C-alpha cells in the first residue's frame, strides 16, 4: 500500500490547492492544512477547499519570531501527528523543528533546476539569464536557503518569448503539481532519493523588486528582451520616459533587419529612440537588433497598448444607445458587488485602486460574458481600461465591432501593383513565432525559381506547443463556451476579411503556387470565401434527434442524440490549391466547434499564414487556429502520432494517406478522413455536343495546369469521333498562352515546384517508351521557371503506365472505345483502384443516367466538368479515400454523436 496516512500540507494559492486535491485523490490522508490568513475577508483557495472537505485548517500569520519557532504554533502543528510535510507553495519561513519533526521529513516545491537560481525569484532569473532550459525541483526542505537534498527534478525548454506567466502556465504549474505528487508516491514506496546539491553552478541573485527592475539600456536586444520578460508581470521592468516611470510588458524579439514605420519616442539612455508602430513599441539594443513591447503601464496604474502611446488620451467617447446604457448600469452593479468597500461606482472609479485583485479580473470578464456574449473580453482588456468609464467605452466598442484590430508584425512587399503583407512565421496560440532553434527554409516562386522569402520550419516541439494551445482553447478557453451563432458570426467576419483582401490573397497564391492570377482570384480565393460563408450558416443548425426505444413497461424513457465537436483536429493539405483546400476542411472543422492545427504543404505555405493573420484580425480566440509550415515527414507524422489530436483530415497521395491512417490507428485510434489520388475517367460519346465536349474536356485536363485532384486522368472517346476530337483539342492547346501567372492574359502558368516538373518530364518519357503517340508537348518550356508544355497522348492502351497512374499535370491521355459498346467502356473506366471523380458527355439522358449509376466514383459530372460547389459533398471511393469535404456531410467528419437515455 503506497499511501501515507498522516500528511500536513503547508502552503497556499491555487498551486497548493491542486497538490492537495491530487494527494487526496491518491488516497493519502491529510491531517492538517496550514495556510496564510484571509486577505480582505477572502480565504486562500487551499484553505477554502480544505475547510469544505472537513480537514483541519490553520492560518498562522507567522511560524517563528526572531529566528525561533513560536511555541504555541509549533505545538498545534505537532498535535496533528504528521508523518510528512508537503510544502507545495510555501511563502512563510517554517522553523527547522517543524521541518525535521515528521518521520518522513519535509519536501518543498521550487520553480528552478536547483542548485541554479536558489531564492524566491527563480523563474524571473531563469528568463533574465536567457537559460535555454527551465524546470522545477522537489527537494528535502532545509532552513529556507533552498540547499536541501534533491528528491526529483523535471526540465523543459524555455521558449524564446516565454514570460513568467507562460512558462508557469505551460509547465511549472501543471507538471509541478504532478511532480510533487510523484515525489510523495516515491516516499510512500520507500524509493525517494536524497541527492546532495552540488555547489558548482549554484546561483542566488535575490528577490526581484520594483526598485531593482529598472532597465539598463546599454545591452543587446536579447538581454533587454530577457530583462523585460523576466520581470513580466511582477515586478515589471521600467524606465523613465517623458519624465515619468513607465513599465514595459509583452516583449518579443524581432527578426534581424526588421523595419517598421512609426513615430520616434526618446528614451533616456537608449542607444537610439524607440519607434511607436501599429504593432507596438519597437526598441533597439546596443547591437542594433530590435525587440517589440506590446503594453505599457504608467505610475498611476493605467495600462495602454504601446501602439497607442501618442494617442492614449485623445480617443473621443462614444455616445451610448438606450440598450448600451442599460448594459452600463448592469455593469455598475457588478462593479459594486466586487468592490464592496466602495460606496458608489462613479465614472472615475478605478478598479484596482479600489481594491480589486487578479481573481476579480477573471470574475469581471465572466460577468461581462453572461450579460453580453458578443463582447469577447480578455483579462488584459481590464488591466488596460481601469476606470469604470474607460471600461464601459471599451465594452461598447467591442459590442459594436469597432475595437481596434491588433496588428501582427509581418513584412510588406510591393507585388502585382499592390502592397501585400507577407507573414512567414509559424502561427501558434494567436501569435506569429519562430520555429524552435530559429529554423527556416526558402519558399520558391515557380515562375522564375527564385526565393520569395524565408519561412519558419516547424519542429516536433512546435507541433506539441500548437496542439497544447489548441487543446487549452477547446477545453478551457472562450471557444469551448461560445454559443453557435457567435461562432458563426466569427466565421462570417473571417469570410468578409478574406473578401476584403482577395486580391492580396490571390497574388500570394499565384506567386507561391504558380496559379494563374485570374483563376486564383475566382477559384482558389473565391471558393474559399464561399466555403467559409456556407459553413458559417451551419453553426447554429447542427442538431441531434429524439429516438423512441423499447424497454420494459412502463416505458418512461427519453433517448436523444447530441452532435458534439471532437476536440483538437489536425489538417494536412496539399500544394495544388493551398488556400481552397485549407478552407474546405477548416471551415467545417471550425463550424462544428473544434480547434485546429493545420500543416500547409511545405512548398506553398504563404496563403495559410496569411489566413492566420486574417483569422486573428477577425477575433478568433487564441489557440483556435494554429498554422505550422514544415515537412510532412516531421510535422505531419507528429500530428498523426499525437495523443491529444482526435481527428486528422488529409488531402494528398494514396501512399501517404495509407501511412497516415496506420499512424492514426496505432497512436490513439483518432478519426481520419482522406482525400487521396485519382485517375478520373471521362467518357465522351459520339452523340455529345462536340463544342462543349472539347471546351469542357480541355478544362477537365488543363484546369489549374492539370494540378487538380479531379482532373480527367484518362479520356475515353468513341471511335467514330475520336480523330475529330483529337484535332479540335490540339487546335485549342496551340492557342494557350504560357507565361507569367500574374499577367492577366496568361492561360497556363508554371508547375508548382521543380520536383513535380521533373516527375512530369519522366512521366511523358515513359509514355513514349511504352508506345503511346505523343501528339504535342511532353517537355519543359525553354524559359526560366518550372513551365511544362500542355501535352496530348493518343493510342493509349489499358496496360500502359500512363493509363494507370495519375500525372497530376497538364497531360491529356486519350483512348478509343468501340461505338455503342457502353458496358465495355464502363468496365475499362472502372478498372482502376481510384474512384474520386468521373464524367460523361452525351445528349442521351437514359445513357447519361445509366453511365452515372455504373461509374464507381464519388463525383460524376454529366455534360460538364469541374463544377464543384460548397453545398455538394466531395470525396472519393476505393483508394481515393473516404470521408467528405463540403456540404452538410462534411460537418459529420468533425462531429461525434452522443446518445443520452433518461428514465423519468
Question: Could you give the residue numbers annotated as active site?
Answer: 110, 675, 709
Burial of 592: CB neighbours in 10 Å, binned 0-12, 13-18, 19+:
buried
Q: Are 717 and 810 in contact (CB under 8 A)?
A: no
Per the listing, cell 546532495 goes with 196
Which residues contact residue 238 at a Cβ distance below 8 angstroms, ignoring those fewer than 6 apart?
Answer: 210, 213, 214, 215, 245, 246, 247, 248
Is 575 annotated in a binding site? The answer is yes
The strand ranges marked E within 685-745 are 712-718
Is 574 annotated in a binding site? The answer is yes
Give Rg (Cα) of the chain: 33
Q: Report CA-CA distances (Å) from 340 to 218, 348, 351, 353, 450.
A: 46, 16, 12, 13, 65
Is 634 annotated in a binding site? The answer is yes
Parallel/antiparallel/unpaired status of strands 557-565 and 150-157: unpaired
- Residue 441 CB coordination number (10 Å): 17
Q: Report CA-CA distances (Å) from 554 to 51, 263, 496, 902, 904.
A: 45, 77, 54, 13, 10
Angle at 314 between CA 309 and CA 319, to 5 degrees: 135
Kindly provide the b/e burial profile for residues 216-237, where b requires at least 16 CB atoms within 10 angstroms of the residue's own CB.
ebebebebbbbbbbbbbeebbb
Is 329 annotated in a binding site? The answer is no
Check residue 93 and report its DSSP letter: P
Q: Report CA-CA distances (Å) from 80 to 13, 107, 142, 274, 436.
A: 22, 17, 21, 59, 49
Preceding omega of 22 cis (within 30 degrees of 0): no
Kindly provide the b/e burial profile for residues 865-878, where b requires at least 16 CB atoms within 10 angstroms of the residue's own CB.
bbebebeebbbbbb
Is 599 annotated in a binding site? The answer is yes
Is 808 annotated in a binding site? The answer is yes
Is 636 annotated in a binding site? The answer is yes
Query: First and final CA of the chain: distance in angstroms?
Result: 43
Is 653 annotated in a binding site? The answer is yes
Which residues contact residue 796 at a Cβ distance below 8 angstroms, ignoring those fewer than 6 apart?
Answer: 714, 767, 772, 802, 803, 813, 814, 815
Is 786 annotated in a binding site? The answer is no
| 603: nearest Cα among 728, 763, 473, 442 | 442
Is 807 annotated in a binding site? The answer is yes
Is 632 annotated in a binding site? The answer is yes
Parallel/antiparallel/unpaired status of strands 568-572 and 647-651: parallel
Is 600 annotated in a binding site? The answer is yes
Is 94 annotated in a binding site? The answer is yes
Q: Report CA-CA distances (Å) from 354 to 236, 301, 331, 345, 533.
A: 21, 12, 16, 10, 45
Q: Is the dihedral of CA 638, 640, 646, 650 positive or negative?
A: positive
Distance, CA of 215 to CA of 271 (rounded, Å): 13
The strand ranges marked E within 746-894 are 773-776, 791-794, 811-817, 834-835, 837-841, 859-862, 877-878, 881-882
Q: Report CA-CA distances (Å) from 742 to 255, 278, 417, 452.
A: 29, 30, 10, 15
Q: Report CA-CA distances (Å) from 698 to 726, 834, 859.
A: 11, 21, 18
Kindly provide the b/e burial profile for residues 521-545, where b requires at least 16 CB atoms within 10 angstroms of the residue's own CB.
bebbbbbbbbbbbbbbebbeebeee
Per the listing, cell 462613479 goes with 346
Parallel/antiparallel/unpaired status of strands 7-10 and 30-34: parallel
Q: Are 158 and 126 in contact (CB under 8 A)?
A: yes
Angle at 833 between CA 857 and CA 657, to 5 degrees: 95
Per the listing, cell 465614472 goes with 347
| 593: nearest Cα among 477, 498, 672 | 477
| 446: nearest Cα among 766, 760, 734, 807 | 760
Binding residues: 92-94, 146, 573-575, 599-602, 632-637, 652-653, 759, 806-808
User: Which residue ranges make up the annotated binding site for NADP(+)?
Assistant: 573-575, 599-602, 632-637, 652-653, 759, 806-808
Q: Which residues are annotated as a binding site for (6R)-10-formyltetrahydrofolate?
A: 92-94, 146
Amino acid at each position: 500500500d503506497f499511501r501515507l496516512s498522516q500528511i500536513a500540507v503547508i502552503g497556499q494559492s491555487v498551486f497548493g490547492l491542486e497538490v492537495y486535491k491530487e494527494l487526496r485523490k491518491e488516497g493519502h490522508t491529510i491531517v492538517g492544512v496550514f495556510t496564510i490568513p484571509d486577505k480582505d475577508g477572502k480565504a486562500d483557495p487551499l484553505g477554502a477547499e480544505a475547510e469544505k472537505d472537513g480537514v483541519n485548517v490553520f492560518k498562522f500569520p507567522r511560524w517563528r519570531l526572531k529566528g525561533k519557532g513560536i511555541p504555541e504554533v509549533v505545538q498545534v502543528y505537532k498535535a496533528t501527528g504528521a508523518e510528512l510535510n508537503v510544502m507545495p507553495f510555501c511563502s512563510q519561513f517554517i522553523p527547522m523543528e517543524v521541518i525535521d519533526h515528521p518521520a518522513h521529513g519535509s519536501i518543498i516545491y521550487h520553480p528552478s533546476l536547483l542548485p541554479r537560481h536558489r531564492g524566491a525569484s527563480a523563474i524571473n532569473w531563469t528568463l533574465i539569464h536567457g537559460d535555454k532550459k527551465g524546470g522545477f525541483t522537489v527537494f528535502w526542505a532545509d532552513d529556507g536557503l533552498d540547499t536541501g537534498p534533491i528528491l526529483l527534478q523535471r526540465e523543459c525548454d524555455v521558449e524564446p518569448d516565454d514570460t513568467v506567466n507562460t512558462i508557469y502556465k505551460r509547465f511549472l504549474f501543471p507538471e509541478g503539481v504532478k511532480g510533487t505528487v510523484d515525489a510523495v508516491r516515491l516516499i510512500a514506496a520507500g524509493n525517494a532519493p536524497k541527492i546532495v546539491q552540488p555547489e558548482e553552478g549554484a546561483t542566488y541573485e535575490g528577490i526581484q523588486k520594483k526598485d531593482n527592475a529598472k532597465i539598463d539600456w546599454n545591452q543587446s536586444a536579447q538581454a533587454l528582451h530577457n530583462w523585460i520578460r523576466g520581470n513580466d508581470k511582477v515586478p515589471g521592468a521600467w524606465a523613465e520616459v517623458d519624465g515619468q516611470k513607465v513599465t514595459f510588458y509583452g516583449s518579443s524579439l524581432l527578426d534581424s533587419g526588421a523595419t517598421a514605420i512609426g513615430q520616434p519616442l526618446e528614451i533616456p539612455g537608449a542607444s537610439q529612440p524607440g519607434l511607436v508602430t501599429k504593432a507596438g513599441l519597437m526598441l533597439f539594443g546596443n547591437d542594433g537588433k530590435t525587440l517589440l513591447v506590446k503594453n505599457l503601464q504608467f505610475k498611476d496604474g493605467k495600462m495602454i497598448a504601446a501602439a497607442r502611446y501618442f494617442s492614449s488620451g485623445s480617443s473621443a467617447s462614444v455616445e451610448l444607445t438606450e440598450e448600451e446604457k442599460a448594459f452600463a448600469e448592469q455593469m455598475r452593479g457588478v462593479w459594486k458587488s466586487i468592490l464592496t468597500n466602495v460606496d458608489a461606482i462613479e465614472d472615475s472609479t478605478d478598479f484596482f485602486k479600489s481594491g480589486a485583485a487578479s481573481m476579480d479580473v477573471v470574475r469581471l470578464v465572466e460577468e461581462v460574458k453572461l450579460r453580453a456574449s458578443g463582447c469577447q473580453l480578455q483579462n488584459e482588456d481590464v488591466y488596460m481600461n481601469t476606470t469604470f468609464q474607460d471600461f464601459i467605452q471599451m465594452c461598447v466598442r467591442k459590442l459594436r465591432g469597432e475595437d481596434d484590430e491588433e496588428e501582427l508584425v509581418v513584412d510588406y512587399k510591393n507585388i502585382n501593383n499592390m502592397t501585400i503583407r507577407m507573414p512567414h512565421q509559424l502561427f501558434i496560440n494567436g501569435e506569429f513565432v519562430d520555429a524552435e532553434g530559429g529554423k527556416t527554409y526558402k519558399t520558391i516562386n515557380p515562375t522564375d525559381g527564385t526565393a520569395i522569402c524565408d519561412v519558419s520550419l516547424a519542429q516536433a516541439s512546435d507541433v506539441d506547443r500548437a496542439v497544447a494551445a489548441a487543446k487549452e482553447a477547446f477545453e478551457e478557453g472562450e471557444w469551448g463556451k461560445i454559443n453557435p451563432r457567435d461562432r458563426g458570426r466569427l466565421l462570417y467576419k473571417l469570410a468578409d476579411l478574406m473578401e476584403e483582401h482577395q486580391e492580396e490573397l490571390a497574388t500570394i497564391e499565384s506567386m507561391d503556387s504558380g496559379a494563374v492570377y485570374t483563376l486564383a482570384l475566382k477559384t482558389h480565393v473565391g471558393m474559399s470565401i464561399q466555403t467559409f460563408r456556407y459553413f458559417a450558416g451551419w453553426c447554429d443548425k447542427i442538431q441531434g434527434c429524439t429516438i423512441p426505444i423499447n424497454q420494459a413497461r412502463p416505458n418512461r424513457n427519453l433517448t436523444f442524440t447530441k452532435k458534439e465537436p471532437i476536440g483538437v483536429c489536425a489538417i494536412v493539405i496539399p500544394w495544388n490549391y493551398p488556400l481552397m483546400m485549407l478552407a474546405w476542411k477548416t471551415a467545417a472543422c471550425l463550424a462544428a466547434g473544434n480547434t485546429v492545427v493545420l500543416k500547409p504543404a511545405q512548398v506553398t505555405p504563404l496563403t495559410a499564414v496569411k489566413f492566420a493573420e486574417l483569422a486573428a484580425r477577425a477575433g478568433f480566440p487564441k489557440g483556435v487556429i494554429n498554422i505550422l509550415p514544415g515537412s510532412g515527414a516531421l510535422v505531419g507524422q507528429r500530428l498523426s502520432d499525437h495523443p491529444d489530436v482526435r481527428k486528422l483530415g488529409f488531402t494528398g497521395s494514396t501512399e501517404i494517406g495509407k501511412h497516415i491512417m496506420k499512424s492514426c490507428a496505432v497512436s490513439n485510434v483518432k478519426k481520419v478522413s482522406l482525400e487521396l489520388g485519382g485517375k478520373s475517367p471521362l467518357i465522351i460519346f459520339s452523340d455529345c455536343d462536340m463544342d462543349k465536349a472539347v471546351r469542357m474536356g480541355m478544362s477537365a485536363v488543363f484546369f489549374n495546369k492539370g494540378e487538380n485532384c479531379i482532373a480527367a486522368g484518362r479520356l475515353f472517346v468513341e471511335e467514330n469521333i475520336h480523330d475529330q476530337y483529337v484535332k479540335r483539342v490540339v487546335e485549342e492547346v496551340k492557342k494557350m498562352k504560357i507565361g507569367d501567372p500574374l499577367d492577366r492574359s496568361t492561360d497556363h502558368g508554371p508547375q508548382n515546384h521543380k520536383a513535380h516538373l521533373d516527375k512530369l518530364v519522366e512521366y511523358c518519357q515513359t509514355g513514349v517508351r511504352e508506345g503511346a503517340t505523343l501528339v504535342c508537348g511532353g517537355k519543359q518550356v525553354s524559359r526560366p521557371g518550372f513551365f511544362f508544355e500542355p501535352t496530348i497522348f493518343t493510342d493509349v492502351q489499358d496496360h500502359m503506365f500512363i493509363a494507370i497512374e495519375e500525372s497530376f499535370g497538364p497531360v491529356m491521355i486519350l483512348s478509343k472505345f468501340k461505338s455503342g459498346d457502353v458496358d465495355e467502356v464502363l468496365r475499362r473506366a472502372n478498372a482502376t483502384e481510384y474512384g474520386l471523380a468521373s464524367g460523361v458527355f452525351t445528349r442521351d439522358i437514359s445513357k447519361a443516367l445509366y453511365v452515372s449509376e455504373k461509374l464507381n466514383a464519388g463525383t460524376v459530372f454529366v455534360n460538364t466538368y469541374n463544377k464543384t460547389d460548397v453545398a455538394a459533398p466531395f470525396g472519393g471511393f476505393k483508394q481515393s479515400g473516404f470521408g467528405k469535404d463540403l456540404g452538410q456531410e462534411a460537418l459529420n467528419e468533425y462531429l461525434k454523436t452522443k446518445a443520452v437515455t433518461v428514465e423519468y
